[in-house]
Structure 1
Amino acid sequence: MSHTAHIPSHRKPRRSASKMALRAGVAGGVLSTLAVAGAAGTANAAEPVTETIELPTLTADLSAQIAQSADATQQTADSYEARAQQEAAAVKAAKQAAKDQKAAEKKAEAEQKAKAEAEAKRKAAAKERAARTTERTQLSTSSAPSGGATGGSSSSSGSSASDNSVSTPSSGSVSAVISFLRAQVGDAYVMGGTGPNSWDCSGLVQAAFKQANINLPRTSQAQSTAGTPVSLSNLQVGDILYWGGAGSAYHVGVYIGGGQYLDAANPSKGVVIQDLSGYPASGAVRVL
């Protein structure tokens, strides 16, 4: 027996042959796999990629679907735009309606105010007309004409054109004419007017001389030749003045003394008293 037989061996126990074979097989398999993979990788790296990916072809149906989708999108956008326009129009209409309402209220207020003012003026005018009517009635009843309706001259108390004072003749006929004329001062001028509150020139003269029971023609042309012609330097109160030619006069008035005459002048003035120097007459006739 060996002298070291009793000492345990330091070598590792031997593995069985089967285990060693198994491990060798596994290792060989792994190495084979790696070798194959490496060869494959080298081969792939060496060869270029020739595979082509084909995109789907755009068919007619697909084109139609895309077009329909685009149309639908546009319709939606148009709808939103139309709605926005409608809302904007509604807001604008509401603002305009409010503005119109305020304007209508102001207009109604102004019309009501104007109506009230017109009514006040109408009442004042009616009151004034009533007062004038009363005055005319008193003149008509209290002024009795003296003498006939002849073409003679008026009384010696009449004034010539050179007189500076305005006097009323003592003759009842002339006094009635002048009083009536003065009562109409302020009346309106209306073409063809014959009273009682609006006149034209010849209508006023005709009405005035009716107070003396003298019936004059209606027109200024006929009135300019109705009496005896007199010089403008020898006028007397009550003489009829005319502008234009005798027989073709376009305007008439009545001399009231003091270088003044009374006439229905025009629509802007109405019945007024004016200075003869400002608008000299063409001629005159005397009927009283």
Structure 2
Amino acid sequence: MSHTAHIPSHRKPRRSASKLAVRAGVAGGVLSTLAMAGTASASPAAEPVTETLEMPVLNLDLAAEVSSAVTTAADNTRAAAVNGELQAEEESARTGAAAEAKQAKEAAEKKAKDEADRKAEAERATRNAARTTLQNASASGEMGSGTVTAPATGSAAAIVNFVRAQVGKAYISGATGPSAYDCSGLVQAAYRKAGISLPRVSQDQSAEGTSVSLSALQPGDILYWGSRGSAYHVAIYVGGGKFVGAQNPSTGIVERNLSYDRPTGAVRVL
């Protein structure tokens, strides 16, 4: 056996720093053991022993790994920054869209409210105009018939008192009293109370006497609706802008203002 011992070299790629440290420690231990063995076996007369040791070569490419790690970290940082910017832009876009939608909704609601207010104002104006027209017509009828301010006397008073006493009774077509009347039946009965005979139907009654203006009415005048000689309804003017008539089955005999159902004309028989 040769006095020179050779330790084979095992070279493997470095995988990690911890493995390199272990290998270095093992190599150091081997060298220490060999040194101690050589010292113990050597004698004073023995020849010097020469030992050749081949240390393992540690190839550490740390610079490349560090550079790669730094590059990866930088790339990750840039990616995170870009992702953050994209999220911020998306959030800003959502916020802007929500604000625009809210503004559009408020504008639509305001427009609808303005339109509703305009329509309501127009309806109020129309109602006011109609109310004014009705009031003017009522006032005109009362003023027109107000030429007679004194109470009815004589035959006119008898006629007026009679028809007013029938208010509230029923309207029945063809009836002539005493519990129910139609329009011409009431007029005929009232004039009979004053001793005057009239035709039975409204068409003939509207052709009696002389025509008078609605602005010059007197109590006891016969009012008619339609044309004279072919009227479809008649009643008695009782003064103060009012008349009494058997209107229809739903109302019966009532006293109303001329504005309630303004007549076409009038005749005076008294």
| TM-score range relative to shorter protein | 0.3 to 0.5
Bigger share in helix: 2
Query: TM-score w.r.t. structure 2 length?
Result: 0.46
Query: TM-score w.r.t. structure 1 length?
Result: 0.43
